[in-house]
Each structure stands twice: as C-alpha cells, then as structure tokens.
C-alpha cells in the first residue's frame, strides 16, 4: 500500500525495491543519487514514487505508470528485470553501460545524445549492464532488477528525451502494450 509522504507529490510504496544508502555521502554514487532524486522531484529515499506516477501491483509484476513532463511513462519490474519506457519519439541511439559503469554508445548516435551519455560519471554500481535504446517508439532502459535502478533509468531517459528534443507519443494503454526494442 502506498502512502503520501510530505507534500502531495511524494508517495512511499513499502514493497517497491529500495536500494541501500550510499556508504560515503561524498562519493560519486552518493552525489549522483542526490542529483537524480532532486531532478526527479523526490524528497528522499527509500521507496519513493516519482511525482506523476502511480503504482500498480499485478500478479507477476509491479508497474509504475503515468505522465511526467507531458510524456507517458511505464516502468515494469518482473522476472528479475526492470524496464523503463518513456513514450516520446527520439533520434535513434543505442548504448550499453560497460563493466566500469561508463556508457559505450553505438556509432551513428546523435552527437548530443552521445555527449550526454559521455558526460555522466562512470559509476559501476549504477550504470553497469544498463541497456539504453531510443527511437521512434520511445526511450527504453533495461537493467537487472534490484536497488532503485529504475530511478536512475527514469532520470537518464528524461535527460535524453530533453537532449534529443523527443516529441511525446500519443497515449496508449501501457498495461496492454509492450515496450519497443525488446532486444535492447
């Protein structure tokens, strides 16, 4: 059961996966966490629902769904994988977080998108093995479930949507729709 926290835009959901607090408040990952939470409009951790999204519990998965910045958002956590989907048409871009936590961007990516990914701090615990794909069907990030990676993914996809001037796609019933790029 989710409950309001502080202002009406923040909600605590006890069973949504929460990550451990960073060990060193001055570390790169702690600074990134603070930046991400502030950009998403979240007052604190753990287990806080980003403003504009609601939690939906289903048999085999948990979904966060709603609208942020005029774009439809769908986050799914099931079978050990979290998929974050921002429904906005963007230029084609594919990237993968390497073992060091830095993104490797495929050739042909828009320079602005590649630069945005290159500007991120390499944080192994945050970006390792995260797959990102952008295109006409939206912006998608896929990672193994755990911690609060979906917050980083949402922040990253919103950053890329803004950077790539991604246009919102028409509303769909996200519960019935599959995110694009299933081979991300």
The dihedrals phi and psi of 82, each to the nearest 5 degrees, come to: -115, 130
Query: For every one of its 184 residues, what pLDDT tens digit does the chain have, with 9 covering 90 and above?
Result: 233 334 433 333 333 333 333 334 445 556 677 777 777 776 555 456 788 888 888 888 889 999 999 999 999 988 889 999 999 999 999 999 999 999 999 999 999 999 999 999 888 889 999 999 999 999 999 999 775 789 999 999 999 999 999 999 999 998 899 999 865 5
The whole-model pTM stands at 0.78
Q: Which residues of 152-184 are buried (b: 16+ CB within 10 A; e: fewer)?
A: bbbbbbbbbbebbebebeeeeebeeeebbbeeb
């Amino acid at each position: 059961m989710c409950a309001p926290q502080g202002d009406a835009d923040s909600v605590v959901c006890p069973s949504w996966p929460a990550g451990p607090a960073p060990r060193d408040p001055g570390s790169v990952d702690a600074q990134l966490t603070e930046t991400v939470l502030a950009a998403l409009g979240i007052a604190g951790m753990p287990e806080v629902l980003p403003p504009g999204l609601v939690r939906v519990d289903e048999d085999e998965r948990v979904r966060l769904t709603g609208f942020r910045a005029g774009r439809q958002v769908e986050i799914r956590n099931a079978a050990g994988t979290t998929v974050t989907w921002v429904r906005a048409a963007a230029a084609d871009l594919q990237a993968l977080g390497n073992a060091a936590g830095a993104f490797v961007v495929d050739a042909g990516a828009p320079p602005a998108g590649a630069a945005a990914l290159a500007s991120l701090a390499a944080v192994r615990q945050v970006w390792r093995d995260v797959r990102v794909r952008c295109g006409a069907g939206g912006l998608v990030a896929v990672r193994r479930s755990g911690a609060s990676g979906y917050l980083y993914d949402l922040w990253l996809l919103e950053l890329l949507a803004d950077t790539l001037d991604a246009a919102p796609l028409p509303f769909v019933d996200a519960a019935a729709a599959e995110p694009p790029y299933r081979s991300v």
